[in-house]
Amino acid sequence: MNEICEFGHMLTVTGVHFNLLDPDPSKIKIEDIAHGLAYTCRWNGHTKTYYSVAEHSMRVHDEFSNYTRNRGMYSRKRALAALLHDAEEAYWGDIIRPIKNMYPEIEEEILKLRLIIMNKFDADYIGGVENIIKADDIVLKWEYNNVVCLSKCVTEHPFLVKQKFLSLFDILTENKRVNK
């Protein structure tokens, strides 16, 4: 119990004691990521209906995949990176852009964890980052219009979203759950 009380530590749903400031890749579990993202609301909770980071991540994956397939640039490892582009939010929470912009040191820690996660799951974030950012911005605008301002988005229970996220992860990794 003392470890969880230490500065920078948290307890995940699978029972892992995780240090945000000194992340250990062996403690990163896709089940924790899927759960954390499915049960974390986007836009700091200021939406007309519950809309999770996992739903957002799957939309970014879909947008990225459609864009790159249409241009003959699709890569499974980059599509995986698109799905996991906000995976660190399973640990850090969905910190809205204005706060990230005000506190660059937080953004550095977040990016550090994102890159550790990408490396752990063999996702090509660096190779796909430009198109992932484009896809993220397209989805962000869609969310603003359809989730924040209006209630035009039908969402599912976080448990179902978590299962869909894990299924998509399994497809992209060819059923190779990596928990080394």
- Condensed to tens digits (0 to 9), the pLDDT of residues 79-118 reads 999 999 999 999 999 998 889 899 999 999 999 999 999 9
pLDDT of residue 48: 83
pLDDT of residue 180: 43
Q: Helix, strand, or coil here: 10?
A: strand
Q: Where would I find the beta strands (DSSP E) of 54-177? A: none
Q: Is the pLDDT of residue 166 over 70?
A: yes
Torsion sign (Cα): 113, 114, 115, 118: positive
Mean pLDDT of 45-70: 94
Mean pLDDT of 8-26: 93
Please tell me the least confidently modeled range out of 9-13, 36-40, 97-101, 127-131.
Answer: 97-101
What is the 3-state secondary structure of 127-163? Answer: HHHHHHHHHHHHHHHHHHHHHHCCCCCCCCCHHHHHH
Residue 16, C-beta contacts closer than 8 angstroms, at least 6 positions apart: 27, 29, 32
pLDDT of residue 5: 64
The number of beta carbons lying within 10 Å of the beta carbon of residue 101 is 10
Provide the mean pLDDT of the chain: 92
B/e letters for 58-93, b = 16+ CB within 10 Å, e = fewer, are bbbbbbbbebbeeeeebbebbbbbbbbbbbbbbbbe
Q: Is the pLDDT of residue 167 over 70?
A: yes
Q: Helix, strand, or coil here: 17?
A: strand
pTM above 0.85, yes or no: yes
Q: Is the pLDDT of residue 177 over 90?
A: no
pLDDT of residue 178: 54
Q: Give the strand pairing for 17-19 and 9-11.
A: antiparallel
Q: Is the pLDDT of residue 3 over 60?
A: no
